[in-house]
């Protein structure tokens, strides 16, 4: 049973709107990640955090931003949504001190920008 929660599960929104995708975890994990996944494609890391007030951009360039004010919360924001942002966004967390610690994923937010 996943202890990492993403809301909303589905979001359809018009171009130019500001959106925030929520991600919360109850495991006390320091590391958190946002991955982007298109159908049939690999997951691409877009943002990660190693703890409160720590955020870094991932391997795939993204116009989104993230914040980490609390350990359990790692929201992703798009200031002005565009159709090219249509994708599935997956949030994950892992333990900090365990090498090769597995990622715990939420069930994702499927975003459609019209």
Q: How many C-beta atoms surround the C-beta of residue 10 within 10 A?
A: 10
Residues shown for the chain: 114
* Smaller CB separation from another protein, 17 or 75: 75
Interaction of residue 106 with another protein, rule CB under 8 A: yes
CA distances (Å), 92 to each of 15, 29, 77, 101, 104, in order? Answer: 27, 10, 16, 12, 5
Interaction of residue 5 with another protein, rule CB under 8 A: no
Q: Is 32 helix (H, G, I), strand (E, B) or coil?
A: strand
Backbone angles phi, psi at 85, to 5 degrees: -85, -5
* Smaller CB separation from another protein, 25 or 64: 25
Closest contact distance (angstroms) between CB of 25 and another protein is 12
Interaction of residue 103 with another protein, rule CB under 8 A: yes
Per CB under 8 A, contacts with another protein among 50-89 are 50, 58-59
Interaction of residue 14 with another protein, rule CB under 8 A: no
Q: Tokens standing for 54?
A: 């720590």
The contact set with another protein (CB under 8 A) reads 2, 4, 31, 33, 35, 40-45, 48, 50, 58-59, 90, 92, 94, 96, 99-108
């Amino acid at each position: 049973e996943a202890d990492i929660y993403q809301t909303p599960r589905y979001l359809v929104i018009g171009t130019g709107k500001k959106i925030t995708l929520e991600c919360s975890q109850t495991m006390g994990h320091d590391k958190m990640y946002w991955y982007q996944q298109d159908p049939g494609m690999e997951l691409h890391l877009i943002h990660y955090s190693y703890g409160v007030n720590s955020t870094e951009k991932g391997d795939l360039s993204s116009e989104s931003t993230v914040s980490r004010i609390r350990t359990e919360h790692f929201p992703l924001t798009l200031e002005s949504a565009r159709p090219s942002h249509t994708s599935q966004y997956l949030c994950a967390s892992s333990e900090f001190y365990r090498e090769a610690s597995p990622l715990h994923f939420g069930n994702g937010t499927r975003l459609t920008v019209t």
